[in-house]
Structure 1
Amino acid sequence: MLIIDRLELDFRPGLNVLTGETGAGKSILLDSLGFVLGWRGRAELVRSGADQGEVVAEFALTPDHPAQAVLQEAGLPTGPELILRRVNRSDGRKTAWVNDRRCTGEVLRALSDTLIELHGQHDDRGLLNARGHRDLLDDFAGLGDLRAEVRTAWAAQGRARKALQAAQDALAEVQAEEEYLRHAVKELDALDPQPGEEAELDTRRRLMQGAEKVREDVSRAHAALGHDGAEGAMGDALRWLEGAEEAAGGHLESPIAALSRAMAELGEAADGVMRALEALDFNPLELEQIEERLFAIRALARKHGVVPDDLGGFAADLRGKLDALEAGAGNIDALRSALKEAEATYDAAADRLSAARAEAAVRLDAAVTGELAPLKMERAVFETRIVPADPGPDGRDAVDFTVATNPGAPSGPLARIASGGELSRFLLALKVCLSHGNTGVTMIFDEIDRGVGGATADAVGRRLKALAEGGQVLVVTHSPQVAALGAHHWQVVKQVQDGQTLSQVVPLDPGARVDEIARMLAGDTVTDEARGAARVLLDS
């Protein structure tokens, strides 16, 4: 990448120091690390003439390391080793892998938050970012449980507020159509249509309408069969034949018998026709009433856009809305009470969190002040400022770390008030106070000793050494006092080979380390006196 051809580094536990002349490539190493971790930064990390640049970073993880949870959530392999690989091609395309699985830059950045902390004058991800100061204070004070309580109360308050709003919206909607609902329910209740009634009324209406024409024909038939018709004619014929029977000498017995049978059949037919006439008889008023009800049911069905058989269910739905309207006021009162209770619970939890933060701020200020004295900043004032903020899931406080470099001087944000050297020492003091129990994270300090020297630089180095105990710290430094206190020393060297400038990182043995620290003390010409001074620093 850029002036790096191929480079492999094996950083170790404790304090690792990187030194080298300005422009040797120390910043490119940090850019490369940031690249594989998904940080936003320099994009042109491909050496001239190369198709691509590749960075691989390997981390050792404990079973309970926070990175394990990130891997599990992302569906990536977990385990004691974490291998990140990211490729940047010359056309700008980037590809990333985690444990040989493709992943997104978002996953890389989530992992980086659990793996690396970068501190320096231009670090907008760490202590200089005021947006993270509240979280840092809470971590310092161990307020995780109290914050979880506040978040739970905030979520419950949100649910109560949504429930009340939904009930109010529903009530407003019903109230807007109250007049229509009452009129429609009154109309439906007055008619009281029943399932299947429309079909039954339609059938009866059709029968009645057809009965008028049928009855006319049946009445004519009944008249033709009656006394003035066939019955009268057959009766006359029978009387005439019976009067002539004696003179006919027996010839009329059979016709008379047949006619008598026919008279009996005719009477039975006439009786049946009479019964039919009675069955076809109906009240014209009843037909009118059936038609009126049938048409009323159909009109209501069209009006409300439902089939006639569903009118009863539709009426029940409307009555339910009216019941909800009548019960709505009481329900809203109950929801208002629930919201008030949820708000009180949140307020109480947020008050406890605010009080705990105020107490923790006093302790943090005292701890940082105690660290500033050895760093030759005993007159500086550090203050954790807590001001009210809009309520949220993390309480109602805004937290900002402020400093005043001298008594009586105005205080302000770290990045704006402190000079380069002062800022570095403030950051180091703050980090020492905040890092207790913070294991599993590699801390990188980029020229945090800038602008200091002598006893102050020695104090900075000793704080860094203490910070590295039980963990891993990487320091890019120009200070020989800091470099001498490292457990492992790496030198960044820029060389020209075959007309091409390349950067190398060389682990230093004890002898080479003396020469490098002597160079840092004396400059380009390393003297025996400088080497002697370097040995004194290394032995101190």
Structure 2
Amino acid sequence: MLAALSIRDIVLIEKLELSLDGGLCTLTGETGAGKSILLDALGLAIGARADAGLVRQGAEQGSVSAVFDLAASHPARAVLSENGLEADGDIILRRVQTKDGRSRAFINDQPVSIGLLRQVGDMLVEVHGQHDERGLLDASGHRAMLDAFGGFERQVADLRALWNAASAAREALSAHEALLARAKAEQDYLTHVVGELDELQPQPGEETALAEERTLMMHSEKIAGDLAEAEEALSGDGGLDARLAVALRRLSRAAEQAGGRLDAAIAALDRTLTEAAEARDQIAQAMRALEFDPARLEQAETRLFALRAAARKHNVQVDDLAALADKLRGELQEIEGGEARLAILKKAAAEAEARYGAAARALSADRARAAAKLDKEVMKELKPLKLDKASFRTNIEVLPEDHGGPEGIDRVSFLVSTNPGAPFGPIIKIASGGELSRFVLALKVALASRGSAPTLIFDEVDSGVGGAVAEAVGLRLAELARAVQVIVVTHSPQVAARAQHHFRISKGGEAKAQKVATRVETLDAPARREEIARMLAGAFVTDEARAAADRLIGGHP
């Protein structure tokens, strides 16, 4: 429930601290005293549209804080936890409105978006007035109200999970069908490309090896000439080998008389001759390997150019051609196995949709039974509210299953007829101002114990009625207040007399000095008697009015 309301610099309110309790709370006062200011201020705190006109003249900004005392299990706490906000203890909604139109929102002193503030505020407070097109008058919320009345929250949650599963199955099927269609359209192309690449059989690193071989062969003629000259220098007439052999023979003849002094030189010449022979062999091998072969060069160039052309065609590197072939081959295999996968997905989607359809039909039948019960309960409330000629009906339009949604296949709306034989239509279009308020009250009484916000605010729900009807309105509000906190802005003494907590709103100050301010007083028993007497008598309170006030209050302890 709303436990406290703090207002700073809003319209005519400079500073206000208001404490509230559960049960039925009434706000009374002369017309123009500022009752609507309190509702506008509270609306700002629970996420209403920003309005720079709410800031008190002369102030830079205004602010409103609303403190709520909630049960530990209230769903608003789960919303706060999901958004990383403190969810224990009192819930404090605060809004700061600047005179330039900007506003800031806070929950438990943490900055939040206006959207989150409104989401939480809607869970905590419902405001009902003659011209309020939200809440009970908004047909988009009627299905949820019927579900709350019937206690179908668990069924709806289960149905939403089935809907999500069916949606996921349909999306998977659709995606696979699209993939399969694209793959089939490309199947001939893929087969052709894979065949080309398989015939080419590219190998990683092959481009580099071929390029090096091509370069080498292109220069082989010049290299072969250099090798021939080197070989001639080593072994031709007068070459190194011949001169070394002559030197070795001469040193060997002289060695016998040299006493070992030539042994090292002879050994060195012998090694040199061996190394020279090995060099000749290596040169001979190189000459054979580098023998220029035009056919071999053409073959290497043809292979290299074919690899590079394929790489350009498929916009990849030559070394990636083998991987591309594997990838495209895999896509072909997917096409071949795609039909089997398609059959599996079709079966899964059909089964998921069947489960959803069965649950949706079951919930629809339960809703129809709950609607009949709700209609009876609302009709019982209409007669005491002097709407005995009116009728109420919960209309359920059952949609085809393929037009259903997460909450089922039912489109729910509350319809009324104000006179026998008159057509049914939406409450807001059929009922007059006074009738509208009473229809809303009858509905709220029927729905209050099931899914209602913990605080209900009725703005002049008794407008246009008096006497026995006003008495009936007061009785229904009092009954409603047994389940939730009810705050009523009223001009009816019959309603005010049933309140457990009474607040009087008045305007005072110096008008010439532009210091007029709205004040809120909590009335004790004598002050409450005087206020109800004023409501009965008007400007001049008489003893008869006070006696009548005593009778009204005495009859409603």
- In which range does the TM-score fall when normalised by the shorter chain? 0.7 to 0.9
1:535: which partner in 2? 550
Superposed, 1:102-501 pairs within 5 Å as: 102-205=111-214, 285-389=295-399, 390-438=403-451, 441-497=454-510, 499=512, 500-501=515-516
Change (3 A) 1:201 1:400: same
Do the aligned residues in 1 keep the contact of 2:221 with 2:292 (CA within 8 Å)? no
Do the aligned residues in 2 keep the contact of 1:62 with 1:80 (CA within 8 Å)? no
Do the aligned residues in 2 keep the contact of 1:61 with 1:440 (CA within 8 Å)? no
CA distance in 1 between partners of 2:85 and 2:226 (Å) = 93
Task: Kindly state the Cα deviation for residue 152 of structure 1 after the two structures are TM-superposed.
Answer: 1.2
Task: Kindly state the Cα deviation for residue 380 of structure 1 after the two structures are TM-superposed.
Answer: 1.8
Residue 503 of structure 1 pairs with residue 509 of structure 2? no
Aligned length: 508
Do the aligned residues in 2 keep the contact of 1:164 with 1:335 (CA within 8 Å)? yes
2:267: which partner in 1? none
Q: Which has the larger displacement, 329-338 or 131-140?
A: 329-338
Task: Kindly state the Cα deviation for residue 275 of structure 1 after the two structures are TM-superposed.
Answer: 7.4
1:261: which partner in 2? none
CA distance in 2 between partners of 1:42 and 1:284 (Å) = 90
Q: Which has the larger displacement, 294-303 or 154-163?
A: 294-303
Task: Kindly state the Cα deviation for residue 357 of structure 1 after the two structures are TM-superposed.
Answer: 1.2
Change (3 A) 1:531 1:188: same
CA distance in 2 between partners of 1:38 and 1:274 (Å) = 96
Do the aligned residues in 1 keep the contact of 2:25 with 2:499 (CA within 8 Å)? yes
Q: TM-score, structure 1 length as denominator?
A: 0.85
Task: Kindly state the Cα deviation for residue 462 of structure 1 after the two structures are TM-superposed.
Answer: 1.1
1:359-389 per-position Cα deviation (integer Å, ceiling 9, x unaligned): 1111110111122222232332110001135
Aligned match for 1:95, one of 100, 104, 107: 104
Task: Kindly state the Cα deviation for residue 87 of structure 1 after the two structures are TM-superposed.
Answer: 2.7
Do the aligned residues in 2 keep the contact of 1:97 with 1:103 (CA within 8 Å)? yes
Task: Kindly state the Cα deviation for residue 206 of structure 1 after the two structures are TM-superposed.
Answer: 5.0
2:269: which partner in 1? none
Task: Kindly state the Cα deviation for residue 522 of structure 1 after the two structures are TM-superposed.
Answer: 2.0
| Bigger Rg, structure 1 or 2 | 1
1:518: which partner in 2? 533
Change (3 A) 1:300 1:455: same
CA distance in 2 between partners of 1:501 and 1:37 (Å) = 26
Change (3 A) 1:324 1:431: same
2:262: which partner in 1? none
Q: Which has the larger displacement, 335-344 or 359-368?
A: 335-344
Do the aligned residues in 2 keep the contact of 1:13 with 1:470 (CA within 8 Å)? no
CA distance in 2 between partners of 1:18 and 1:6 (Å) = 18
- What letter is aligned with 2:492? S
- What letter is aligned with 1:298? R
CA distance in 1 between partners of 2:290 and 2:340 (Å) = 60
Change (3 A) 1:296 1:89: closer
Task: Kindly state the Cα deviation for residue 197 of structure 1 after the two structures are TM-superposed.
Answer: 3.5
Change (3 A) 1:424 1:325: same
Task: Kindly state the Cα deviation for residue 215 of structure 1 after the two structures are TM-superposed.
Answer: 6.0
* Root mean square deviation of aligned Cα: 3.2
- What letter is aligned with 2:467? G
Task: Kindly state the Cα deviation for residue 191 of structure 1 after the two structures are TM-superposed.
Answer: 2.3
Change (3 A) 1:288 1:498: closer
- What letter is aligned with 1:513? R
